[in-house]
Amino acid sequence: MAPEPTGAGTRPDAPERIVDAAIACIAEHGPTRATLRRVAAAADVSPGLIVHHFGGKEGLRAACDRTIARRVAERKLDAMRRGAALDPVRAFAASDPNDPTLRYLARVLAHGGPAVDRLIDDLIDQAETAMDEGVAAGLLRPARDGRARAAVLTLWSLGALALHEQVRRVLGTDLAGSPAGLAGESAYVRGAMEILGGVLTPDAADAADAARDAACEPARHAPREPASGSEGDAP
């Protein structure tokens, strides 16, 4: 019988720490290169402990997807309660700049497959729930087909994230970079809110406009750094 894992891996929070390490590894290296050995090193556990908790790489990836879907749902519900963003990408604008969620999504969306299908289905389910809550709270206009509206908005947002390099080239906004890049005077945010304004009730739309203007104000008065001239920089 193999020896029982020792050290940090025996702590009760080991599964959560392994999932956090795996999400960070996938965000940085992509699903293929995020090996069990690499994740184990990042989590300071043995590869055998990962197999013990998750059954292997596929089980670990499923746990990561569930965690990401939950994080997106939490941010989206919080944004909905504040009358802020309908876009699940924008929901991370005020989050921890080191949060790997958007980079994780950008990585896995490029790979496709059944795991991505399940993740997208979960995100659509959660978007529908959040938008129903927004309608009940008087923030959103009622939809003729709530499921279709949630699906379109989710797929649109995830599509922009999958094409994040083109979004950066065309709009100068790096969706897969720091979440702070989605705040202030981001061209992506301005364009998204122009479109999403029709989904909000008039009062909620006015509140969102005021919040956006307040967020942009510090950026307008901040000293601007000289342009580097790199291809991906904002104009």
DSSP character string of 35-75: -HHHHHHHHTS-HHHHHHHHSSHHHHHHHHHHHHHHHHHHH
Checking if the pLDDT of 3 tops 90, the result is: no
Asked whether residue 75 is domain-assigned, the answer is yes
SS3 assignment, position 205: helix
Kindly indicate the confidence band of residue 217, based on its pLDDT and cuts at 50, 70 and 90.
low
pLDDT in tens, 80-137: 666 544 554 555 555 566 788 888 999 998 887 888 999 999 999 988 988 888 888 8
Asked whether residue 23 is domain-assigned, the answer is no
At 227 the pLDDT is: 38
Checking if the pLDDT of 13 tops 60, the result is: yes
Give the domain extent around 93.
Answer: 68-218
SS3 assignment, position 233: coil
- Cα 194 to Cα 70: distance, rounded to the nearest angstrom: 27
Instruction: Name the residue with higher pLDDT: 180 or 200.
Output: 200
Q: How many residues are present in the chain? A: 235
User: What is the DSSP secondary-structure string of 115-174?
Assistant: HHHHHHHHHHHHHHHHHHHHHHTTSB---SSHHHHHHHHHHHHHHHHHTHHHHHHHH---
Q: What's the whole-model pTM score?
A: 0.70
Checking if the pLDDT of 148 tops 90, the result is: yes
140 φ, ψ (degrees, to nearest 5): -115, 150
Asked whether residue 6 is domain-assigned, the answer is no
The mean pLDDT value for 165-176 works out to 87
Asked whether residue 43 is domain-assigned, the answer is no
- Cα 135 to Cα 86: distance, rounded to the nearest angstrom: 12
Q: Taking the alpha carbons of 167, 169, 170, 174 in that order, is the dihedral positive or negative?
A: positive
Asked whether residue 227 is domain-assigned, the answer is no
Query: Among residues of the chain, what percentage have pLDDT more than 90?
Result: 37
- Cα 52 to Cα 32: distance, rounded to the nearest angstrom: 21
Are 187 and 168 a contacting pair, CB within 8 Å?
no
Asked whether residue 130 is domain-assigned, the answer is yes
- Cα 233 to Cα 22: distance, rounded to the nearest angstrom: 30
Asked whether residue 160 is domain-assigned, the answer is yes
Tally the domains of the chain.
1
